[in-house]
Amino acid sequence: MKAVRQDRRPMAGTASKMAAALALAACICAMPSLAYSQAANAPSEKIWNELKTDVFEDRTIQSDTGLIRIEAPKRAQDAALVPVDIFIDPAKFPGGIKSLTLIVDVNPSPVAATFQFGENSGVTHLSTRLRVDDYSYLRAIAETANGELHMAQTYVKASGGCSAPAVKNQDEANRTMGQMKLRQFAEQDSQTGKGRELQLMIRHPNNSGLQKDPLTQYFIPPHFIHKLSVSQDDRPILSMEGGISISEDPNFRFDYTPDGNGEIRVEAVDTDGKVFRDQWPLEAAGL
């Protein structure tokens, strides 16, 4: 488990423009859901019904088709760190899926992240961690190669109390920002059909911002990784855009199908335009 850091080129110009656009977009979407959160038990569904046309226009979204499954704890233990697992049934997706959108209805900016998968990447299971502000459905919507949308959802009760969706150790998060770690797990036994697994960990406060500072009434600016790509040599395995509700120190664990012995390469860009890159040789036998 080596963590080799190299070549971080700031790309301030374009990325800060993107960040500004993103912050603006985020503030706009923040308004309706903040309003909803005023009512303690405002149904997540109501938000979703208005949100889905914004995100998917009038396309048909099929539910409970068994092609996709999502799992999360019934009650969030830590609002800043809610583990979520998404399973894609490879038997029902012969062409694989093109993309996967993760949504947390009640969050100030509900689209948590959108993942794209490389051709023949073999990803059938993805787990990550989310910030969840309040009682909410977590939704995973997969787009198939032929453009169908399939959705799975699970309801998470908010953690409540003093567990806030905020960075726990802000100075440490700032100090270590950009460090990466990759763990490689060997194939499980053939009975489960699980392929090799990677766990990618990136140090970053990944602050969603959007919280209104009660002391100043200003919104705290967002600062998070909004672009991520994982490839084997130049072959894309997985990429992500968005990322606003991904937890501090973004963490992604997923299976994949390796092709040859090429190295694993990662590039991440945050909303300040900082670029973080790292690479690791493919381990012959992982954990």
| Contact pick of 193, 212, 263, 281 for other proteins (by CB under 8 A) | 212
Nearer to other proteins, 203 or 277 (CB): 203
Least Å from the CB of residue 59 to other proteins: 31
**What value, to the nearest 5°, has the Cα angle with vertex 229 and ends 224 and 232?**
150
Burial zone of 30 (CB within 10 Å; 0-12 exposed, 13-18 middle, 19+ buried):
buried
Determine the Cα–Cα distance for residues 8 and 187; give it in Å rounded to an integer: 32
Confirm or reject binding of residue 251 to other proteins (CB under 8 A): yes
The rounded distance, in Å, linking the Cα atoms of 170 and 36 is 29
DSSP-based helix, strand, coil % in the chain, nearest 5:
15, 40, 45
- CA-based nearest residue to 68, from 109, 21, 42, 101: 101
Q: 103 with 129: CB under 8 angstroms?
A: no
Out of 16, 18, 43, 83, the only residue in the binding site for other proteins (CB under 8 A) is 83
Segment lying near other proteins (by CB under 8 A), choices 20-28, 89-97, 209-217, 222-230 = 209-217
Residue 181 binds other proteins (CB under 8 A): yes
Residue count of the chain, please give it. Answer: 287
Applying the rule CB under 8 A, the residues between 125 and 154 that interact with other proteins are 127, 129, 133-134
For residues 80 and 71, the answer to whether their CB atoms sit within 8 Å is no
Q: How far is the CB of 81 from other proteins (least distance, A)?
A: 5
Measured distance CA(34)–CA(228) in Å, rounded: 28
In the set 16, 23, 27, 78, which binds other proteins (CB under 8 A)?
A: 78
Told to check if 221 binds other proteins by CB under 8 A, we report no
- Quick one: tokens of 101? 């959108």
Please work out the total of residues on this chain that contact other proteins, with binding judged by CB under 8 A. 50
**Applying CB under 8 A, does 211 fall inside the site for other proteins?**
yes
CB of 13 to other proteins, least distance (A): 29
Considering only 169, 221, 263, 281, the residue that binds other proteins (CB under 8 A) is 169
Using CB under 8 A as the binding rule, whether residue 165 contacts other proteins is answered as: yes
CA distance 285 to 287: 7
- Chain positions contacting other proteins, by CB under 8 A: 37, 40, 71, 73, 77-81, 83, 85, 127, 129, 133-134, 158-172, 176, 181, 183, 185, 201, 203, 207, 211-216, 220, 247-249, 251, 253, 287
